[in-house]
Structure 1
């Protein structure tokens, strides 16, 4: 009965949780459908996070909704890096490794975003968690970019982001969403292993012209 009462009084949070589970399943499967869920879920979370004082999360979710559209386009029409591909796979981005040449610029971009968001939260909002809120959002932006490029290492980024969000959301009184991120940590580990198997299978399959 307590569970039913909680769902009735926290409908927005529970709806977001349901969308999040669908998103994780699609990401785990490397399904392009994740981007469609990735458009709807942030729009729900904008309201949820603002109501609970997670201002950076709320504003950034507007960005995530727009970025999901871009991510879909990259996955659908992204250019492959060399090699022949079968006709049925043409036009779809393949899973690959994070390029070493991108590490430094991405790291610098992360620090810059973290600093800007932290300054905004500290001096422009009543947030009482500016450091952690800005950190996870800056890292999430990097993670979303890596996901859009289908880099397998994006899973490592989400392990860190999701682990921090478990504690952050519990502290901010959003336990259902916090439990979603606890599940996300597990899915991120399993997702990495699945994507690695997919890469290995693709590497072992002869290319078809």
Structure 2
């Protein structure tokens, strides 16, 4: 039991990030604006965690997530027609090639920077998950249903990456995120056009 309490004490920051992250995503799946407030708390905690783990792209991602959380809050409250609540919708199909191109360009550029200028431990995977996550977070802010599909895919990769980096609480969090993303996709799909 002493080993458990010692582990808990030395990983309190990571555990607090896990809890606030779960609260954030739960509220997002319920289309509740409180998710954006919890997002800001969670990303602040995780910026520190990822700095210590030398996952620099993920650290930078947390800063951008903080900014996208402010954007998402505003969009959800006032981004609809006539500054009304934004409804769930689909990504326009003509945007998909551009989003894929952004992902490829973002992954390549960030991977090159991390490989060349930092001691990042897994720059390509870190860069890919960062690029996909940025696109998914922007899509979440616009209430595009397909954001959950991206989150499902990237969460699977994150679980493996965090186990590899010995961030077990965070790996657990991403297993929970994976389940919540499946739930969010199903729930948002049912509510599309019916709930703001």
TM-score (norm 2): 0.94
Structure with larger Rg: 1
- Structure 2 counterpart of 1:171: 164
Query: Is 1:199 equivalent to 2:160 in the alignment?
Result: no
Residues 52 and 173 in structure 1, CA contact (< 8 A), matched pair in contact too: no
Work out the CA distance in 1 between the residues paired with 2:4 and 2:154.
27
Query: Is 1:60 equivalent to 2:61 in the alignment?
Result: yes
Please say which of residues 17-26 and 104-113 is displaced more in the overlay: 104-113
Work out the CA distance in 2 between the residues paired with 1:150 and 1:3.
40
Work out the CA distance in 2 between the residues paired with 1:112 and 1:14.
33
- Structure 2 counterpart of 1:8: 9
- Structure 1 counterpart of 2:91: 98
**Count of residue pairs the alignment pairs up:** 194
How far the C-alpha of 1:187 sits from its partner, in A, is 1.1
How far the C-alpha of 1:158 sits from its partner, in A, is 0.2
- For structure 1, the residue ranges without an aligned partner over 5 or more in a row are 82-89, 204-209
SS at 1:63 equivalent: helix
Alignment of 1:119-158 (within 5 A): 119-158=112-151
Work out the CA distance in 2 between the residues paired with 1:104 and 1:80.
26
- Structure 2 counterpart of 1:160: 153
- Structure 2 counterpart of 1:86: none
- Structure 2 counterpart of 1:28: 29
TM-score (norm 1): 0.89
How far the C-alpha of 1:107 sits from its partner, in A, is 1.4
Query: Is 1:18 equivalent to 2:14 in the alignment?
Result: no
Deviating above 4 A after TM superposition, structure 1's stretches of 4 or more consecutive aligned residues are none
Computed over aligned residues only, the root mean square deviation of the Cα atoms, in angstroms, reads 1.5
Work out the CA distance in 1 between the residues paired with 2:173 and 2:136.
17
Work out the CA distance in 2 between the residues paired with 1:177 and 1:8.
15
SS at 1:151 equivalent: coil
